[in-house]
Each structure stands twice: as C-alpha cells, then as structure tokens.
C-alpha cells in the first residue's frame, strides 16, 4: 500500500526499528522510542548510500517527496546528493560566521581581557538594544553605509546623540575586525564620519572653590541618612575615584595595614589595575565602616541586599538631599574638585595628580606609568589632600598655599 499522511500518523513504534517505504528510495524510519526520520536510499558511483531528509512531523510527506525529487535531479546530473548536502551545511556555517552579530560577538570576546567589566556591559547593551535587532543577521560584507546610517539614526532620533556616536564607534570596530579576518571588504562605518549631529559636551558638575568645598564638607558631616551612604560621601572627596569604582569596592581589595586600596583591572575604565593610597582620615572611616559591612563582600552594599553594591545614583541622590543641585555638584565632580585644588592651590605636580586620577599618563619616553609609579609622592599628596579637606571642613581661613610634594600643611 502507498504510504499516506494518515498511515504515517497512525504508525506505532515496535520493539524494533521499522521502515515504511514510499517509493524511489524514499522511506520513513520509525525507532522503538517513536522518533520518525525520512531517509533516501540511492546508488552513486556503484555504491549504495543513504541520506537524511529531515524528521516527521517537521517535514511532512509532500516536503519529503520534494526533497527526494531534488536529490534525484542531482543524481541525474551525476552529482552526489550527500556531497551536495555537506556543501550546503558548510556554506550555512560560513554564512552564520560572517553576520554582523557573529563578528561583533567574536570581537567583543577578544576585547574582554583589555576592557573593564563596565565597558563590556555598556557595549553589550548597545549591541543588544540598538544594533543587533536590525543588523545582527545581515552578512557583514553586505551592509552598506546607508543601511548602517539608517540604523544609527534611529538612536539619534530618540535624542540619544552621544549613544548614537558610541554605536557608530562600536560598529566601526566590528567592521574593522571583519576586514582583518576576511569577512568584510570595507569598513562601512568609516564612510559615515561627520554624518551625525556633533556631541554637545557637558562637564560633570563640580565645586572647585575652596570656601564652597568647605560648605559641602560640612553638609556631608551633617548627613542624616544611612551610615553606609554617609561614609561613601565622606570618602568620595578623599579618594576621588570614579563613582562606579567606589560604590563597587570590595573589602578584598583593601589592605588596611598598608593603607592601600588596590582596584582590579576589570573594574577600571582604562582596563589596568589602580592603587589608591589611603590617608589616615580615609582609614579611620573604613575601619569604622568595616564593623558594619565587613562581614560581606561589598564595602557599600545595597540597603536591600548585601549581595550587590548600592545603586549608581545613591551618592548623587544624597547630594540632592543635602541641597546641592545636579548642575552644582555630582559624584563625579569630586574628581574635578581634587584635580583643580591639588594643582592650583596645593601646587602638586600634574603628573602625580593625573596618575592618581587613573588617567593614561606617560613618561617622557612615551611609556605608560605602572600602578606604583611615584607611589611615595602620591602617598604624601593623598595625606596632604585629606589634611587640607579637614581645614576646609572646620571652617579655618582659606589661604592659597603651594605646598608641593615635599611640603606639609601645618595643622
């Protein structure tokens, strides 16, 4: 009896594999477990061969017949259907490896050792939210500048101008890697230079006038929120790290006996580890805070759970609570405060300051400084800075001093 759809549906498995033949080499193999596979038996080069045409019910009888007929056409042209199928699979794999998504993911993985976790998270968000939904499945070499521009402009129309520029820079990196690895012939992103609206640079709000700094420090001293947040506020001007580096700090990074905070490379913007000398004032705050949060991993845990750090808006929210508007002072502004006053008021060498800010500082020969460069001088600078903050906080008369690296501030 010819094999029918009804017969296939009603076919029951037995304790042995069974074959239901249709004709011209096509049959359905039913396993004892109930699986049903389409197979085609044919001869090529004097040998009997067998290929799979898919599984039932994903491939119905009509589709199986069509696949059989296509295979027999290949045989009529003296082509082996099995070899042809392997070529198709190989081509499909190559095509999958040349899409924007596959090249982007591969590039991102190669950058993981050089980039901080925060940078990786930011790039993944841009890919997942703004690029892959439109470009992910497209072969990289087929994406022309106009198609990429249309995608980037979707971001720009949302008013996210800076994000649009970030997405274009990321796309350029992906195309550049595609060219290097032979999966693209041209960097389409490079042709879009100047096509986007320019980014309007907005600086982080910061208080840099000493008298106003004193007012800020006294306000922090009177903060009535949680003790953990108050400690974060107090430490922010003393260590002047980036807000994310402070709020994600873990106790394992601190050596309180040596008065050092070693921030691992994975949490630094520049991707290299950073050493922060701790002043006596900073140590005093940390030792007291350790009694409260030292049982967990994070120095500044979330108020809801100690399994994650406090949110990225906590310090800014505390500053607003103290009455400082967002265009007046920000968590990031403590860095500008330290840079300005250490240079213009206390007279420390700019390279000491920039190195302590974890910026890319190079020596006269163009070599990057390592984490311990000028450590002794930076230790003195950090202690002098905390001492000066104490003077400002207590409301003593503010006199511009150029103390330099080897001068002490008198109490």
Q: Which two tokens stand for residue 47?
A: 């040998």
* Angle 94-96-98 from CA coordinates, rounded to 5°: 70
How many whole angstroms separate alpha carbon 18 and alpha carbon 14?
7
- 278, 385 Cβ separation under 8 angstroms: no
Give CA 144 to chain center in angstroms: 26
Residue written as token pair 């081509």? 91
How many whole angstroms separate alpha carbon 347 and alpha carbon 341?
8
* CB atoms closer than 10 angstroms to residue 280: 11
DSSP letter, residue 160: -
Residue among 349, 383, 343 at smallest CA distance from 369: 349
Please tell me whether the peptide bond between 57 and the residue prior to it is cis, using omega within 30 degrees of 0. Answer: yes
Residue 381's Cβ-side half-sphere holds a number of Cα atoms within 13 Å equal to 30
Residue written as token pair 């498995």? 13
Q: Which two tokens stand for residue 357?
A: 């800010």
Strand order in the sheet with 26-30: 18-23, 26-30, 36-44, 47-56
Residues annotated as part of the active site = 242, 269, 332, 335, 359, 369
The neighbouring-strand residues paired with 277 are 260
* CB atoms closer than 10 angstroms to residue 124: 14
The neighbouring-strand residues paired with 362 are 368
Strand order in the sheet with 254-255: 254-255, 260-263, 274-277
Q: Are strands 26-30 and 47-56 parallel, antiparallel or unpaired?
A: unpaired
The per-residue DSSP string of 359-407 comes to ---B-TTSPBP-TTTTHHHHHHHHHHHHHHHHHHHTT---------TT-
């Amino acid at each position: 009896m010819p094999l029918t759809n009804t017969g296939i549906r009603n076919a029951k498995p037995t304790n042995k594999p069974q074959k239901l033949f249709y004709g011209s080499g096509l049959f359905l193999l039913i396993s004892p477990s109930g699986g049903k596979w389409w197979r085609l038996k044919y001869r090529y080069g004097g040998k009997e061969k067998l290929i799979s045409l898919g599984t039932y019910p994903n491939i119905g009888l009509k589709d199986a017949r069509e696949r059989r007929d296509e295979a027999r056409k290949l045989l009529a042209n003296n082509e082996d259907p099995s070899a042809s199928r392997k070529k198709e699979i190989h081509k499909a794999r190559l095509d999958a490896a040349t899409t924007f998504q596959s090249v982007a993911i591969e590039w991102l993985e190669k950058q993981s050792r050089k980039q901080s976790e925060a940078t990786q998270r930011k790039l993944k968000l841009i890919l997942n939210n703004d690029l892959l939904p439109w470009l992910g499945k497209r072969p990289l070499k087929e994406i022309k500048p106009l198609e990429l521009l249309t995608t980037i402009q979707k971001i720009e129309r949302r008013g996210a101008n800076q994000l649009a520029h970030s997405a274009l820079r990321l796309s350029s990196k992906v195309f550049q890697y595609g060219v290097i690895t032979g999966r693209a012939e041209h960097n389409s992103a490079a042709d879009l230079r100047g096509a986007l609206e320019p980014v309007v640079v907005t600086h982080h709000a910061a208080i840099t006038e000493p008298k106003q700094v004193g007012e800020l420090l006294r306000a922090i001293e009177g903060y009535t929120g949680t003790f953990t947040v108050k400690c974060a506020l107090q430490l922010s001007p003393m260590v002047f790290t980036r807000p994310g580096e402070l709020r994600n700090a873990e106790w394992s990074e601190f050596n309180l006996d040596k008065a050092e905070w070693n921030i691992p490379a994975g949490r630094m913007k520049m991707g290299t580890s950073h050493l922060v000398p701790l002043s006596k004032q900073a140590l005093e705050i940390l030792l007291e805070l350790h009694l409260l949060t030292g049982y967990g991993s994070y120095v500044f845990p979330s108020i809801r759970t100690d399994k994650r750090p406090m949110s990225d808006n906590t310090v800014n929210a505390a500053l607003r609570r103290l009455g400082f508007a967002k265009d007046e002072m920000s968590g990031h502004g403590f860095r500008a405060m330290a840079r300005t006053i250490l240079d213009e008021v206390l007279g420390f060498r700019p390279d000491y300051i920039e190195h302590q800010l974890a910026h890319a500082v190079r020596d006269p020969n163009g070599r990057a400084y390592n984490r311990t460069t000028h450590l002794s001088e930076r230790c003195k600078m950090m202690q002098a800075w905390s001492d000066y903050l104490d003077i400002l906080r207590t409301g003593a008369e503010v006199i511009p001093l150029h103390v330099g690296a080897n001068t002490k501030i008198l109490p």
